[in-house]
């Protein structure tokens, strides 16, 4: 064996030994440590909203928009808007990155800044951005325009965008509520059909057919352009469909008996409702194109409050066929009726959530009323609220909030909103009596 | 027959008029309300290149307090990364009575300081204000137990509500939170001793992590966030979401987890066990465990 070969083998062996010795150390230096954080601060997210700018008259449009956005986000229960009085950095330029330290100091985790102005065409434009303060990154940047009188809709759309980005859920702020505006003494209530923004702003009456008509159970169509309602007069109870775009309204056929509790199918092609005739109340469905009616239930029981499932295949309804009002399901074409509530007390006004994953209901038990939710099969029933009198649940389009009306012993009804966990509840402002709310889909 | 006087006639006329008025009534017919759809347009994301340069993030660009250099070295004109010269000491190292002598070759691999190259513009074209580089300048004097805190650091420290800002090395402590059995695990047998050390980090992140368990689906996310810490409490790499999903709820959850990591720097990450610095750390933010019992 040559000497050079021996030496080269020795070097190779030494190199191998060194490598073996070094590998563990190298691995230790570069290996990844892993761990788990399994608790945190469960609380609303602190967010600062700072939109500046003016309208054509020099009014403080930015501050007005900020206020609406803050109110929306706070009302969701997921956010804790920071009082603008605490802001260190003011007059932010939407074209300049904010001073993140100023916002860290006031403990903001997110910042939305923007600017409102009226463009050359007289339209209101709002540019806004959403920032993650601690990563110092922009999460959103949008520009919205509308006619100046629709500034609140811009604010709601900004709130929707922020809500969606930071929760991953669909927003629901740019929506409306139709409801029954009530006035007068309890024994002689005047009931108007009314509409307002979901936050109680811009309330107005919708003129209905006939004089001295009492309006009940208004319901939105899926495209939010039509409202079906029951018009009760001294000698009739009919269902009308009101087109919000044109103001046109028409009665739904000539129905023998008292028709009430209308509800559109998800695709808007059908209308389900109850007809009370000869002591019995049954559910019908009408094809709105052909006006053909189909009777879905029969018998002498009271069957009412129909509500379509999200896919339109099933109808939930209230029936006292078992001795007390309970909630049942049936096929949308009738048949296959099955009861899904069995608890004590009575259950009524079932409403499928927009996604079809829950049913909201009213429960009466022990002299009190509650709004609750349960699985479509009737399981996991959970009461969210309780009071002297409350009913009429309606879902926000994202299926996370329920609006209903609550009446005090004094007899003044008011609208309330509760999150489906029951943790966030708030009154919907309206300067009068309000009942029977129906939440619109998101506006276009 | 008695004739009707004019006053009686006038009275009759007035009464008749009143009766007529009662029939006519002032019926209030409100104007039909046409609720038109409102064209609110989301035009686009604003082109960020229109944005001006960001104000200086004083905290992020704050340079460490000047310390005497061991040897006068001519300053380099370019911000090129420093040469990997051995560091005579490491922050938070064990205090020694005498300063260690710089040697040409370090006795063991020392943490590599991050390159202080300017951060590239982000995808929006914005100048990104990076955290202060985790640079540890060579020091002449003996090692200090912990770097001196700047006033800004104190402020942030209070905000972050870190459990400890003690200048001495923090002893590893176990989390009092429930765990899922995988908490604070080292990556191998060699890391078995680091289990408690990782717990020291996760217990601090517990306090920084904001989450809302009521958002549907948010209690099921468990984003894995990878990052590297420097001894001065800065995040030198990441935070990066490892187990990415195309799900908005997961994305929102991951943002909150990364915000917790970003929020902690620098003070919440000071004084951690040495073994946590300058090596990749992957933390799972387990919302299911955090939201349990809600």
Q: Please list the pLDDT of chain A residue by residue as tens digits (444 residues).
A: 455 555 566 656 565 555 444 444 444 455 888 999 998 988 899 999 999 998 888 789 999 999 999 999 999 999 999 999 999 999 888 888 999 999 999 999 999 999 999 988 899 999 999 999 998 989 999 999 999 999 999 999 999 999 999 999 999 999 999 999 998 877 778 899 999 999 999 999 998 877 777 899 999 998 878 999 999 887 788 899 999 888 888 898 778 888 999 999 999 999 999 999 888 999 999 999 999 999 999 989 999 999 999 999 999 999 999 999 999 999 999 999 999 999 889 999 999 999 999 999 999 999 999 999 999 999 999 999 999 999 999 999 999 999 999 998 888 899 999 999 898 899 999 988 999 999 999 987
Residue B74 pLDDT level (bands cut at 50, 70, 90)? very low
Residue B25: the pLDDT is 43
Helix (H, G, I), strand (E, B) or coil at B52: strand
Mean pLDDT of chain B: 60
**CA distances for A431 relative to A1, A191, B32, angstroms:** 106, 14, 22
Residues found in chain B: 294
CA-based nearest residue to A156, from A68, A45, A77: A68
Show Cβ contacts of residue A120 under 8 Å, excluding neighbours closer than 6 positions: none
Helix (H, G, I), strand (E, B) or coil at B237: strand
Contact A214, A165 (CB under 8 A): no
Share of chain B above pLDDT 70, in %: 38
Residue A260: the pLDDT is 92
Contact B287, A37 (CB under 8 A): no
Give strand pairing partners of B225: B241, B283
Give strand pairing partners of A307: A316
Residue A15: the pLDDT is 56
Burial class of residue A282 in the structure, from the number of CB atoms within 10 Å of its CB (0-12 exposed, 13-18 middle, 19+ buried) = buried
Average pLDDT, integer, range B173-202: 55
Which of A34, A245, A247 to probe the B interface (max B CBs under 10 A)? A34
Residue B78: the pLDDT is 42
| A 300-359 near B (Cβ less than 8 A) | none
- Burial letters A216-243, b for 16+ CB under 10 A, else e: bbbbbbbebbbbbbbbbeeeebbbbbbe
SS (H, E, C) chain A: CCHHHHHHHHHHHHHHHHHHHHHHHHHHHHCCEEEEECCCEECCEEEEEEEEECCCCCCCHHHHHHHHHHHHHHHHCCEEECCHHHCCCCCCCCCECCCHHHHHHCCCCEEEEEEEEECCCCCEEEEEEEEECCCCEEEEEEEEEECHHHHHHHHHHHHHHHHHHHHCCCCCCCCEEEEEEEECCHHHCEEEEEEEECCCCCCEEECCCCCCCEEEEEEECCCCCEEEEEEECCCCEEEEEEECCCCCEEECCCCCCEEEEEEECCCCCEEEEEEEECCEEEEEEEECCCCCEEECCCCCCEEEEEEECCCCCEEEEEECCCCCCEEEEEECCCCCCEECCCCCCEEEEEEECCCCCCEEEEEEECCEEEEEEECCCCCCCEEEEEECEEEEEEECCCCCEEEEEEECCCCCEEEEEEECCCCCEEEECCCCEEEEEEECCCCC
CA-based nearest residue to A352, from A368, A326, A375, A331: A375
Does B135 have pLDDT greater than 50? Answer: no
pLDDT digits (tens, 9 = 90+) for B225-269: 999 999 999 999 989 999 999 999 999 999 999 999 999 988 889
Backbone dihedral angles phi then psi of residue A250, each to the nearest 5 degrees: -145, 150
Contact A196, A180 (CB under 8 A): no
| A 179-198 near B (Cβ less than 8 A) | 195
Q: Is A212 on the interface with B (CB under 8 A)?
A: no
Kindly identify which residue of chain B lies nearest to residue A202, measuring between CA atoms: B35
Q: Is B283 on the interface with A (CB under 8 A)?
A: yes
Rounded (10°) angle between helices A61-76 and A151-167? 40
Contact A269, A263 (CB under 8 A): no
Residue A128: both structure tokens together: 């806004």
Give strand pairing partners of A128: A114, A142
Q: Is the bond preceding residue B239 a cis peptide, omega within 30 degrees?
A: yes
Backbone dihedral angles phi then psi of residue A162, each to the nearest 5 degrees: -65, -45
CA-based nearest residue to A382, from A409, A417, A347, A354: A347
B27·A211 Cβ contact <8 A? yes
Residue B41: the pLDDT is 58
Q: What residues in B contact A240, CB-CB < 8 Å? A: none
Q: Is A246 on the interface with B (CB under 8 A)?
A: yes
Residue B83: the pLDDT is 42
| A 75-104 near B (Cβ less than 8 A) | 77-78, 93-101, 104
CA-based nearest residue to A131, from B39, B57, B152, B281: B57
Does B194 have pLDDT greater than 90? Answer: no
What CA–CA distance (Å, rounded) separates B207 from B198?
15
Residue B38: both structure tokens together: 């409102």
CA-based nearest residue to A90, from A62, A126, A130, A57: A62
CA-based nearest residue to B269, from B283, B256, B255: B283
Q: What residues in A contact B287, CB-CB < 8 Å? A: 40
Q: Is B38 on the interface with A (CB under 8 A)?
A: yes
| B 179-238 near A (Cβ less than 8 A) | 179-180, 182-188, 190-191, 194, 198-199, 201-202, 205-218, 226
CB atoms within 10 A of CB B4: 10
Q: Is A223 on the interface with B (CB under 8 A)?
A: no
Residue A55: the pLDDT is 84
- The sign of the torsion formed by the CA atoms of A392, A394, A399, A401 equals negative
Residue B17: the pLDDT is 77
Nearest Cβ partner for B249 among A35, A168, A419: A168
Give strand pairing partners of A401: A419
- The upper half-sphere exposure of residue A125, i.e. CA atoms within 13 Å in the direction of its Cβ, equals 14
What CA–CA distance (Å, rounded) separates B174 from A87?
38
Q: What residues in A contact B209, CB-CB < 8 Å? A: 37, 39-41
Kindly identify which residue of chain B lies nearest to residue A244, measuring between CA atoms: B35
Does B129 have pLDDT greater than 50? Answer: no
Q: Is B50 on the interface with A (CB under 8 A)?
A: yes
């Amino acid at each position: 064996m040559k000497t050079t070969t021996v030496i080269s083998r020795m070097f190779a062996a030494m190199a191998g030994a060194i490598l073996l010795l070094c590998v563990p150390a190298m691995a230790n230096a570069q290996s990844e440590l892993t761990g788990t954080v399994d608790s945190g601060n469960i609380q609303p997210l602190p967010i600062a909203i700072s939109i500046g700018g003016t309208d054509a008259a020099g009014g403080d449009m930015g501050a007005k928009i900020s206020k609406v956005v803050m109110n929306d986000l706070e009302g969701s229960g997921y956010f804790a808007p920071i009082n603008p009085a605490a802001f260190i950095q003011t007059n932010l330029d939407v074209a300049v990155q904010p001073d993140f330290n100023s916002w860290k100091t006031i403990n903001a985790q997110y910042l939305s800044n923007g600017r409102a102005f009226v463009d050359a065409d007289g339209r209101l434009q709002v540019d806004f951005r959403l920032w993650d303060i601690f990563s110092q990154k922009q999460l959103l940047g949008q520009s919205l325009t509308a006619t100046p009188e629709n500034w609140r809709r811009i604010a709601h759309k900004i709130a929707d965008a922020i809500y969606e980005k930071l929760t991953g859920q669909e927003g629901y702020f740019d929506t409306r509520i139709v409801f029954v505006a009530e006035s007068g003494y309890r024994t002689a209530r005047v009931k108007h059909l009314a509409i307002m923004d979901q936050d109680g702003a811009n309330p107005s009456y919708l003129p209905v057919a006939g004089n001295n008509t009492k309006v009940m159970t208004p319901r939105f169509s899926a495209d939010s352009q039509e409202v079906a309602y029951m018009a009760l007069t001294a000698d009739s109870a009919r269902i009308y469909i009101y087109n919000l775009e044109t103001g046109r309204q028409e009665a739904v056929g000539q129905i023998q008996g008292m028709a009430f509790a209308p509800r559109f199918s998800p695709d808007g092609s059908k209308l389900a409702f109850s007809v009370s005739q000869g002591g019995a109340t049954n559910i019908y469905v009408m094809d709105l194109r052909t006006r053909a009616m189909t009777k879905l239930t029969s018998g002498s029981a009271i069957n009412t409050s129909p509500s379509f499932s999200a896919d339109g295949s099933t109808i939930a309804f209230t029936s006292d066929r078992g001795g007390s009002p309970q909630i049942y399901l049936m096929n949308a074409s009738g048949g296959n009726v099955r009861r899904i509530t069995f608890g004590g007390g009575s259950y009524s006004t079932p409403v499928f959530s927009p996604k079809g994953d829950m049913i909201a209901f009213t429960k009466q038990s022990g002299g009190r009323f509650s709004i609750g939710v349960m699985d479509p099969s009737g399981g996991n029933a959970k009461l969210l609220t309780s009071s002297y009198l409350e009913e009429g649940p309606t879902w926000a389009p994202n299926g996370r909030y329920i609006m209903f009306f609550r009446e005090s012993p004094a007899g003044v009804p008011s609208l309330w909103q509760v999150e489906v966990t029951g943790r966030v509840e708030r009154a919907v402002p309206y300067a009068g009596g309000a009942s029977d709310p129906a939440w619109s889909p998101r506006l276009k | 027959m008695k004739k009707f006087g004019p006053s009686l006639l006038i009275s009759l006329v007035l009464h008749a008029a009143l009766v007529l008025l009662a029939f006519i009534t002032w019926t209030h017919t409100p104007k039909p309300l046409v609720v038109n759809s409102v064209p609110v347009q989301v035009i686009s994301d604003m082109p960020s290149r229109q944005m001006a340069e960001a104000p200086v993030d004083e905290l992020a660009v704050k340079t460490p307090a000047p310390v005497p250099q061991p040897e006068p070295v001519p300053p380099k004109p370019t911000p090129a990364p420093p040469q990997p010269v051995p560091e005579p000491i490491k922050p938070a190292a064990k205090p020694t009575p005498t300063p260690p002598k710089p040697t040409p070759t370090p006795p063991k691999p020392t943490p590599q300081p991050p390159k202080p190259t300017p951060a590239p513009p982000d995808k929006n074209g914005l100048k990104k204000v990076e955290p202060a580089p985790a640079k540890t300048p060579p020091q002449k004097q003996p090692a200090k137990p912990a770097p001196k805190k700047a006033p800004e650091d104190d402020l942030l420290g209070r905000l972050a509500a870190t459990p400890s800002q003690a200048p001495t090395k923090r002893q590893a402590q176990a989390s009092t939170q429930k765990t899922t059995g995988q908490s604070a695990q080292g990556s191998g047998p060699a890391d078995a001793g680091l289990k408690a050390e990782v717990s020291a980090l996760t217990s601090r992140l517990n306090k920084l992590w904001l989450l809302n368990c009521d958002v549907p689906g948010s209690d099921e996310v468990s984003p894995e966030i990878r990052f590297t810490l420097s001894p001065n409490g800065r995040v030198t790499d990441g935070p990066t979401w490892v187990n990415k999903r195309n799900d908005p709820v997961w994305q929102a959850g991951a943002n909150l987890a990364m915000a917790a990591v970003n929020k902690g720097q620098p003070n919440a990450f000071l004084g951690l066990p040495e073994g946590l610095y300058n090596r990749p750390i992957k933390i799972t933010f387990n919302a299911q465990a955090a939201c349990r019992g809600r």
